[in-house]
C-alpha cells in the first residue's frame, strides 16, 4: 500500500548554464536556504584573509548537528578571527543531534546549525572593520557582498530577497540557477574574484564532510562515499550538489518542503547521473530507502522512483 507521495523538481546544468537533464519544472522558483552556504562562505573568506583550517572552512559551509566536534570548530573559527561568541546573532537552540542534546540540552547560539556561516560573516566584518552588531541586515556591507556574489555566480540581474531561518538574507531564484551556482563551485575558475575562496570552500567540504552536517545526515554520508561530490542541503526540501569531476551542478526541491524525501531523491538522481558506484549505493541504502517503523521495527520504506528527462 502506497501511503504518502512527495513530488519534486530537479535541474542539472553545466558551467555555461545549459540544461543537461531535469525532472518536473527546472525553472521552479526556490529560496536558496542553507544550500547557498558554500558560496556565502566563499564571499566571507574573500573578505577575511585569515589562515582558516579545513575544519573551520567546512563548518563555515555547514548545517551542522552541534555535536562537540562542530561546536569546537565554530569556536576555533571565532578565535582565529578574534570575534567573541556573544557576537553571534543566530537563534539559540538545542543541538540537532539527539545524543548531544541529552548531554548538552541548554539552547545556545553556537548550537545553531548556521553558527559557522555566521562566524564566517563576522570574520569578514572583523577584517573589514565593518559593524558586527548589524551584520544580519540586507543593507550591511557583508550582505551586499554576498548578494553581488550570488548574482554573478547565477548570471542573474536580480533575485528575490527574504529572511532565512537563522536571520540572514535568503535569495530566491529559479532551480536551474541554483544548479548553475553549484556547477561553478565545481569549476571555481568561472567565479572570478571568488575563485580561490570557492576552491578553498569545496576542498574543505570534501576533506571534512563530517563537519558539514554530522551523524545520520545525508550530506555527510554522500560525501564520505563519493569524495568527488560537494553536497549541501537546505530547508524546505532543497538539496544541491556539485559534481566536481564533471563540471555539473544539480539542484533538487521537494514541493511540499519535506526533508525526509530530499535525501532519497538526491541519491536517486545521482544514481541516474552515474555519479555513484555500486559500492557507494550499497553504503547509502539507509539514506536512499529509509525505513518506516512500527513499534521500532521496519514495516515499510520510503522509495524515490522517477526518471530523468533530457532537453
pTM for this prediction: 0.97
* Distance from C-alpha of 43 to C-alpha of 142, rounded to nearest angstrom: 8
Residue 27 lies in a domain: yes
Enter the C-alpha cell of residue 167: 536571520
286 part of a folded domain? yes
Report the CATH number at residue 274.
Answer: 3.40.710
Largest CA distance in the chain: 60
Residue 309 is assigned to a structural domain of this protein: no
What region, left, alpha or beta, does residue 48 occupy, with left being phi > 0 and alpha being psi -120 to 50 degrees?
beta
310 domain residue, yes or no: no
308 part of a folded domain: no
Task: Report how many domains make up the chain.
Answer: 1
Residue 3 counted as domain residue: no
The residue among 183, 163, 161 whose CA lies nearest residue 16 is 183
Question: Scanning the structure block, which residue is given the C-alpha cell 553549484?
Answer: 182
Residue 158 lies in a domain: yes
Show the domain range for 232. Answer: 8-301
Per-residue pLDDT of the chain (311 residues; tens, 9 = 90+): 999 999 999 999 999 999 999 999 999 999 999 999 999 999 999 999 899 999 999 999 999 999 999 999 999 999 999 999 999 999 999 999 999 999 999 999 999 999 999 999 999 999 999 999 999 999 999 999 999 999 999 999 999 999 999 999 999 999 999 999 999 999 999 999 999 999 999 999 999 999 999 999 999 999 999 999 999 999 999 999 999 999 999 999 999 999 999 999 999 999 999 999 999 999 999 999 999 999 999 999 999 999 999 99
Is there a domain that residue 306 lies in? no
Q: Which residue has the cell 559551509?
A: 61
Please give the radius of gyration of the chain, using alpha carbons only, rounded to the nearest integer.
18
Residues 6+ apart with CB under 8 A from 190: 15, 183, 184
At residue 299, the 3 state secondary structure works out as strand
Q: Are 223 and 206 in contact (CB under 8 A)?
A: yes
Q: Would you say 230 and 202 are in contact if contact means Cβ atoms under 8 Å apart?
A: yes
Amino acid at each position: 500500500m502506497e501511503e504518502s507521495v512527495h513530488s519534486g523538481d530537479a535541474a542539472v546544468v553545466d558551467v555555461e548554464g545549459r540544461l543537461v537533464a531535469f525532472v518536473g519544472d527546472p525553472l521552479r522558483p526556490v529560496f536558496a536556504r542553507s544550500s547557498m552556504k558554500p558560496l556565502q562562505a566563499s564571499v566571507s573568506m574573500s573578505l577575511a584573509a585569515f589562515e582558516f583550517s579545513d575544519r573551520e572552512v567546512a563548518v563555515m559551509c555547514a548545517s551542522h548537528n552541534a555535536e562537540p566536534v562542530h561546536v569546537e570548530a565554530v569556536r576555533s573559527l571565532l578565535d582565529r578571527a578574534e570575534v567573541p561568541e556573544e557576537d553571534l546573532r543566530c537563534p539559540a537552540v538545542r543541538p540537532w543531534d539527539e545524543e548531544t542534546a541529552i548531554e548538552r540540552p541548554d539552547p545556545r547560539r553556537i548550537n545553531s546549525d548556521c553558527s559557522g556561516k555566521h562566524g564566517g560573516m563576522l570574520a569578514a566584518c572583523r577584517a573589514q572593520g565593518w559593524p558586527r552588531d548589524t551584520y544580519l541586515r540586507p543593507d550591511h556591507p557583508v550582505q551586499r557582498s554576498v548578494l553581488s556574489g550570488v548574482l554573478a555566480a547565477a548570471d542573474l540581474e536580480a533575485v528575490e530577497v527574504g529572511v532565512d531561518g537563522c536571520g540572514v538574507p535568503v535569495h530566491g531564484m529559479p532551480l536551474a540557477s541554483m544548479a548553475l551556482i553549484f556547477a561553478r563551485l565545481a569549476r571555481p575558475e568561472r567565479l572570478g574574484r571568488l575563485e580561490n575562496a570557492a576552491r578553498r570552500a569545496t576542498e574543505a567540504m570534501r576533506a571534512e564532510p563530517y563537519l558539514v552536517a554530522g551523524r545520520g545526515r545525508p550530506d555527510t554520508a554522500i560525501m564520505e562515499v563519493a569524495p568527488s561530490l560537494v553536497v549541501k542541503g537546505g530547508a524546505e526540501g532543497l538539496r544541491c550538489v556539485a559534481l566536481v569531476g564533471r563540471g555539473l551542478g544539480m539542484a533538487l526541491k521537494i514541493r511540499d518542503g519535506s526533508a525526509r524525501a530530499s535525501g532519497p531523491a538526491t541519491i536517486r538522481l545521482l544514481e541516474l547521473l552515474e555519479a555513484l558506484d555500486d559500492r557507494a549505493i550499497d553504503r547509502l541504502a539507509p539514506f536512499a530507502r529509509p525505513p518506516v517503523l512500527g513499534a521500532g521495527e521496519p514495516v515499510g520504506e520510503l522509495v524515490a522512483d522517477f526518471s530523468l528527462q533530457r532537453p
